[in-house]
Amino acid sequence: MGMTNSSILKSFREIMEIVQKSDLTINIMEVCGTHTMALFEHGIRSLLPQNINLISGPGCPVCVTGEEIMVEAFELLEKHNVTLFTFGDMLKVPGEGRTLSILKAQGFSVKVAYSPRNAIEFAEKNPNIEVVFFGAGFETTAPALGATILEAYTKKLKNFSMFLAVKTVPPALGFLVEHNSLIDGFILPGHVSAVIGAKAFRFITENYQIPAAVTGFTAEELLLGISLVVKSILKKEPSYYNAYPHVVREQGNVEAQRIIEEVFEKGDANWRGIGNIPLSGLFIRERYSQYDARKKYGLREKPPIVPRGCKCGEIMLGRMLPPECPLFAKGCTPEKPVGACMVSSEGSCAAYYKYGRR
């Protein structure tokens, strides 16, 4: 954008002053969990006037993974005796009162992976052990998951498969704008956009006339993204910005998109607390079905399970703030989370718990 840090800050302050003096209420959704944390960490919420609300969206992969998925993962361990690799933040996600961490303590083989390649390496070294990689994520994780499946396919690995809960962000935002007319602007996820391209979110402004900015993660980048969106709201001229152009290209990462397209196909997916969103999930294509743990172990899809009293869905739809949940900081804490929004460090409940209201 060619602006210096001091001019970004100056422009931000000027715009915020205008909003403060106005009788407007502006709701901006930051979609991505990393943005939620960065906004708190940089103290940006405290720089905003009271009449701008930042709403944390559904952009934390752990938070949108339903309990029924966890129950299926437990089934892989208990009924099929697999060694299950997963990312560390999945260990504490509850499923009907249990977690992978509890099963690990009971002696089931659960291993933390930093990359899906850890699981493939383990499977190669241990041909007699059935290895499953359990991955939840968005378009950011999908290329690495797809590349791992391609590697297993090339190596003709027999004792490896994947159990996936991968979702795509644009259909979820389409769902949000159709179900929450309160959102006036979007701060769009920088990392997801780097993969799928700034083009992938243009429909928000073009079809729904809502200003939006693809935004980076430093304080200045966040201030810039917010300034652009608020300015566009004030001018009543909905505009779309790529405010992270040194990382995000209009077309995105074409090679990563090619891997996603090769290995996965789109299907309907359940978003925890929100419900079914058409064509918002990525599923392993028939060609690679021997690496699909669901098919390999005949897992049957379970109906969505929502923990009693948890308002994660309402929060991710922007209808409620975490402290408004009756369980917040009482029955539900990061040590003993009820819902996934409190489990992941990027979850909005966990962020509010750590940093407070503003």
* Residue 339 makes contact with ligand SF4 by CB under 6 A: yes
8 A C-beta contact, residue 177 and residue 169: no
Sheet holding 110-112, edge to edge: 110-112, 83-86, 131-137, 160-167, 275-284, 264-271
- In angstroms, the CA 27 to CA 134 distance is 35
8 A C-beta contact, residue 190 and residue 244: yes
For residue 344, which of 54, 33, 70 has the smallest C-alpha distance?
Answer: 33
User: Residue from 47, 342, 346, 351 that binds ligand SF4 (CB under 6 A)?
Assistant: 342
Least distance to ligand SF4, CB of residue 71, Å: 18
Q: What is the CA radius of gyration of the chain?
A: 21
Residue with Cβ nearer ligand SF4 (190 or 313):
313
CB-based closest residue to ligand SF4? 339
* Residue 322 makes contact with ligand SF4 by CB under 6 A: yes
* Residue 70 makes contact with ligand SF4 by CB under 6 A: no
Residue with Cβ nearer ligand SF4 (150 or 305):
305
* Residue 157 makes contact with ligand SF4 by CB under 6 A: no
For residue 185, which of 40, 57, 44, 6 has the smallest C-alpha distance?
Answer: 57
* The pair of three-digit structure tokens given for residue 172, joined into one six-digit string: 């979820």
User: Residue from 193, 332, 346, 351 that binds ligand SF4 (CB under 6 A)?
Assistant: 332
Residue with Cβ nearer ligand SF4 (11 or 333):
333
User: Residue from 30, 341, 344, 346 that binds ligand SF4 (CB under 6 A)?
Assistant: 341
* Residue 315 makes contact with ligand SF4 by CB under 6 A: yes
- Give the containing element (helix H, strand E) for 289: none
Least distance to ligand SF4, CB of residue 349, Å: 3
Q: Which chain residues interact with ligand SF4 by CB under 6 A? A: 309-312, 315, 322, 325, 327-328, 332, 337-339, 341-342, 349
